A = this chain, B = another copy of it.
Amino acid sequence: MSDWRAILDQNAFDFSRSGSTDARLNRLIEQRRHLVGPTAMLFYDEPLQLVKGEGVWLYDSAGKRYLDAYNNVPVLGHCHPRVMDAVTAQMSQLNIHTRYLDDALHRYAQQLLSTLPLKQGRLVMTCTGSEANDLALRLARLHTGQQGVIVSAAAYHGNTQAVTDVSPSSLKRGQVPAYVACIDLEPLNTEGIDASAYLDQQVEAAIAQLQRDGYGCAAFLVDSIFSSDGVYADPPGMLKAAAARVQRAGGLLIADEVQPGFGRTGSNLWGFDRHQLSPDIVTFGKPMGNGYPVAALAADETLLAELAEVSGYFNTFGGSSVAVAAAQAVLDTLDEEALQANALSTGNRLKQGLQGLAEHYEPLSHVRGAGLFIGVDIVSSEDPTRPDSVLCSRIVNGLRQRGVLIGAAGRYGNVLKIRPPLCFNHDHAQHLLDALEQVMAQDLIRR
């Protein structure tokens, strides 16, 4: 298709246009352009200046309230008191790196590792998910002696050089490197498709391509909710055969849990568990500290020992005292507030509601997702086989004007991305559904 675009530009403000009738906002946009520069992206046709967050709500500088159905970093909700208290308390005691002994780190590592299917699992704290995925690739390449990596066609795994190379969604021009093989997710929309067999065939072809081109297969790096591809969740277990094939071929399975992890998919704490996978490496990021920067990688002792033989690895901010305190508060609160169960219940309610709307509004096509990560394909009213990124953008911006924040995703930028904090409840879901119905009824053709 010709309308391929960088996922990161989806829902982006266009700096070449004036942003607002509001002079103050325009001044802020100009400052932004002159201070932060060309790589800095703003959301929405009329960018937002936010000043306050609480639970699922965000407030702009004019006092207007927005329902946050986009941000997954504040997984417990904005400004959650448990995390604030933990960070404040630890910050007043000590904030130091991991080259001193810290039993809080041990406690956290033990708790997190106990949820993973690794035999001799070890937890390496990093600061960002990008760093965790970057390290995962190093471990996989060192262990296998191969270079090739399999990812989904619109994958995003982070911002370093190494992970940008395996993030086709970051590309605005050109192609992924030859050592990257991509698998296309869209055919999973085909009615009656055997998803497991399809993915297995795709991975088989990817391995063959990488072997033929001399790169071999180091890893299958997978975000099992396929966030930037436009959310492909079902059926559970669909990745099992494909993942096993990679592992049989000597490649490692890297489960990137930055998006699906920490209960978001509702049925499981981890995305890989929903598909009954046995990853060799698991990476964690965004929601891990509810906004405090913390991330991690888990792998078996043997993989880490291979790295330690050839290279030092140290992460200054990774696993510092305050980062661990924040991460522990997140794990504890997820449990105490039963947020995984809420993600399942609210997610099901929301998906039902969206499916109901899709029956009435032609441009709302496939509704996919698990728990509180839902994607809705937007297609042309004239031709329902054509992805419509322009209309998708109009819906996203229409919702923003009505006080509901969501995003856009997918290879063609035509998927509504709904991914709220996990404290999103049934009333919030109804609020979103009502706003979406207003947008559709006002702006668009009723079926």
Which residues of chain A have a CB within 8 Å of any CB of chain B? 6-9, 25, 28-29, 31-32, 34-43, 47-53, 58, 71, 73-74, 78-79, 84, 87-88, 91-103, 105-106, 109-110, 113, 122-125, 127-131, 134-135, 137-138, 159-162, 164, 169-174, 285-286, 291-293, 301, 304-305, 307-317, 320, 322-323
Q: Which residues of B contact A314 (CB under 8 A)?
A: 8, 39, 41, 159
- Residue contact A29 to B316, C-beta cutoff 8 Å: no
- Residue contact B28 to A94, C-beta cutoff 8 Å: no
- Residue contact B87 to A91, C-beta cutoff 8 Å: yes
- Residue contact A95 to B122, C-beta cutoff 8 Å: no
- Residue contact B100 to A173, C-beta cutoff 8 Å: no
Q: Which residues of B contact A88 (CB under 8 A)?
A: 84, 87-88, 91
- Residue contact B94 to A53, C-beta cutoff 8 Å: yes
Having A36-B124, A130-B315, A172-B311, one finds 12 other A-B pairs with CB under 8 Å, namely: A29-B101, A38-B122, A50-B101, A84-B91, A95-B291, A127-B128, A131-B131, A131-B159, A164-B311, A171-B310, A292-B322, A293-B320
- Residue contact B322 to A32, C-beta cutoff 8 Å: no
Instruction: Assess A128 versus B173: contact at CB under 8 Å? Given A35-B110, A98-B40.
Output: no
- Residue contact A128 to B129, C-beta cutoff 8 Å: no
Instruction: Assess A309 versus B172: contact at CB under 8 Å? Given A47-B100, A79-B94, A131-B159.
Output: yes
Instruction: Assess A100 versus B50: contact at CB under 8 Å? Given A79-B92, A124-B40.
Output: yes
Interchain CA distance A9-B285 in the complex, whole Å: 27
- Interface of chain A, helix or strand or loop or mixed? mixed
Interchain CA distance A161-B135 in the complex, whole Å: 7
CB-nearest residue of chain B to A171: B311
- Residue contact A310 to B173, C-beta cutoff 8 Å: yes
Interchain CA distance A170-B314 in the complex, whole Å: 9
CB of A377 to closest CB in B, whole Å: 22
Interchain CA distance A242-B7 in the complex, whole Å: 41
Interchain CA distance A97-B58 in the complex, whole Å: 13
Q: Which 4 residue pairs spanning A and B have beta carbons closest together? A: A8-B312, A37-B122, A293-B317, A35-B109
